[in-house]
Amino acid sequence: MSSKLFHNCRIYTPVDKGEPAAGMAQSNITHYNQGALLVENGMISKIGAESDVLKSLQNRTIDQFIDCKSRCMIPGFVDPHTHMCFAAERESEFQMRLDGMAYLDILKRGGGILSSVDGVKKATVEELYENCLKHALKALSLGTTTLEIKSGYGLDTENELKMLRAIGKVSRTTPQDVVATFLGAHAVPAAYKDDPDTFIDLVITEMLPAVSRQGVATQCDIFCEKGVFTIDQGRRLLRAAKELGMAVKIHADEVHDLGGAALAAELGAISADHLLAANDENIIKMARAGVVANLLPATAYSLKKPYARARKMIDNRLPVALATDCNPGSSYTESMPFVIGLAILNMEMSPAEALTAATLNSAYSTGVADRCGSLDPGKQADLLLLDGESPAILAYHAGVSPVARVYKHGEKVC
Ligand code: NIG
Ligand code: FE
């Protein structure tokens, strides 16, 4: 058995009470100003004040001592929503948006998501893998030790499976834990422009069973939006995914309030994501149903839209998580520190709430809270050392990364 003692650190962590942290509990952070954490075989076995941890270790041999030099220690970030498996950037489209064209209008003209679909169709598994790995490793250097990656730029069985195979290969290569999500209903392909229902039939009868049979994704997602998929189409697809044992989630109420949040509540989704336009009543429905709100402030930033109403959600006991949405269109960043900074400065979230959102609650909305998302004994030793005194440094030292060291299973990976 190998043992490692991290000491001389200012520890900040949410505490896992067996469910996502909602309401006041979202700001419940355990803090040890002079803390220590014992790792045995890559798992956390003790955490506490340094003096208490040392006392409890009397007569025990510790293989390695790591002096954290008073840095702040937090759990590794869990990024619960990314589209980082793509073939090419869309910088010219960014310029079009700066010139005033709306994101959904670009999609309507065959650009946006559909231009990434063209790129993925031409790419090999190997090319997708290499590109995706580059983004995953960038995220790792910024403190993301677990992440979700979606398909959704294939839109047919062959290319969706190609993406999921590339994501699977990334998962086997990177030190991070990767959760794959099937997003075959991300946009309506040109050939089905006038008949999206038939496309949803194809997703349900052909793509979804193939994905499930091959075991390449554990979650299923859909983009419900004006001009993309309706709530009824979402209900049809996600019910079928649930029957196959998959966890379900929804790109909900991103631009228009279609009622995606209510559908997430109705289906008992693991999360509803975006929610920039979600209404009060549906926020309450989600809270009652125990759905986590995955908020993506870098998307609001890049689309120049009002931010999701995190304050309203937390005050109504809806657990809030934070994600990058890393994709070549609406939010091109791998940086959880950037997202946390936006949440603290533009969404009225406290540093404590944002920390819980980026670790524990995002672990719940990705189905991995049993092994990560907090520094509780029994979980993986996935942790970060920040150049700063507290998690507030993530917002305070803007535009750079205060993440000084990244440990996965207790091993230094950055
Ligand atoms: O979450 N809204 C839909 N999907 C992504 C954007 C994907 C893209 O533009 O390539 C999102 O914002
Ligand atoms: Fe997304």
Q: What pTM value is reported for the model?
A: 0.98
Per the document, the length of the chain is 414
Buried b (16+ CB within 10 A) or exposed e, 319-358: bbbbbbbbbbbbbbbbbbbbbbbbbbeebebbbbbbbbbb
Stretch 347-370: mean pLDDT: 98
**Closest C-alpha among 363, 240, 369, 357 to residue 297:** 357
Can you tell me which atom of ligand 1 is nearest the CA of 328? 10
> In which band, very low, low, confident or very high, does the pLDDT at 1 lie, cut at 50, 70 and 90?
confident
Which residue CA neighbors atom 1 of ligand 1 most closely? 325
Does the C-beta of 329 come closer than 6 Å to ligand 1? yes
Does the C-beta of 299 come closer than 6 Å to ligand 1? yes
Q: What angle do CA 118, 121, 123 make, to 5 degrees?
A: 110
91 CA distance to ligand 1 middle (Å)? 15
Query: Looking at the DSSP assignment, which residues form a beta bridge with residue 407?
Result: 383, 412
117 CA distance to ligand 2 middle (Å)? 15
Taking 90 as the threshold, does the pLDDT of residue 238 lie above it? yes
Q: What is the pLDDT of residue 225?
A: 98
> In which band, very low, low, confident or very high, does the pLDDT at 294 lie, cut at 50, 70 and 90?
very high
Structure tokens at 251: 């790109």
84 CA distance to ligand 1 middle (Å)? 11
> In which band, very low, low, confident or very high, does the pLDDT at 115 lie, cut at 50, 70 and 90?
very high
Q: What is the pLDDT of residue 183?
A: 98
Ligand index nearest the alpha carbon of residue 271: 2
Tell me whether domains 3-75+374-412 and 77-364 share a fold: no
Taking 90 as the threshold, does the pLDDT of residue 80 lie above it? yes
Measure the CA–CA gap between 51 and 361, rounded to whole angstroms: 30
**Closest C-alpha among 31, 30, 47 to residue 39:** 47
- At position 356, the amino acid (one-letter code) is T
Q: pLDDT per residue over 296-328, tens digit each?
A: 999 999 999 999 999 999 999 999 999 999 999
Does the C-beta of 174 come closer than 6 Å to ligand 1? no
Residue listed under structure tokens 């050392």: 385
Does the C-beta of 298 come closer than 6 Å to ligand 1? no
Stretch 190-194: mean pLDDT: 96
Percent of the chain, pLDDT > 70?
100
Percent of the chain, pLDDT > 90?
99
**Closest C-alpha among 255, 257, 243 to residue 285:** 257
Does the C-beta of 333 come closer than 6 Å to ligand 1? no
Q: What is the pLDDT of residue 280?
A: 98
Q: What is the pLDDT of residue 277?
A: 97
49 CA distance to ligand 2 middle (Å)? 40
Q: pLDDT per residue over 252-289, tens digit each?
A: 999 999 999 999 999 999 999 999 999 999 999 999 99
> In which band, very low, low, confident or very high, does the pLDDT at 178 lie, cut at 50, 70 and 90?
very high
Residue listed under structure tokens 């960038």: 138
Q: pLDDT per residue over 28-77, tens digit each?
A: 999 999 999 999 999 999 999 999 999 999 889 999 999 999 999 999 99
Which residue CA neighbors atom 9 of ligand 1 most closely? 329
- Which sequence spans correspond to the domains of the chain? 3-75+374-412, 77-364
Measure the CA–CA gap between 12 and 350, rounded to whole angstroms: 14
Average pLDDT, the chain: 98
83 CA distance to ligand 1 middle (Å)? 8
Helix (H) or strand (E) holding 74: strand 72-75
Structure tokens at 322: 């934070």
Q: pLDDT per residue over 84-96, tens digit each?
A: 999 999 999 999 9
Q: What is the pLDDT of residue 59?
A: 84
Q: pLDDT per residue over 243-254, tens digit each?
A: 999 999 999 999
Stretch 100-127: mean pLDDT: 96
Ligand index nearest the alpha carbon of residue 255: 1
Q: CATH topology for 77-364? A: TIM Barrel (3.20.20)
Ligand index nearest the alpha carbon of residue 117: 1
Q: CATH topology for 3-75+374-412? A: Urease, subunit C; domain 1 (2.30.40)
150 CA distance to ligand 2 middle (Å)? 8
Ligand index nearest the alpha carbon of residue 300: 1
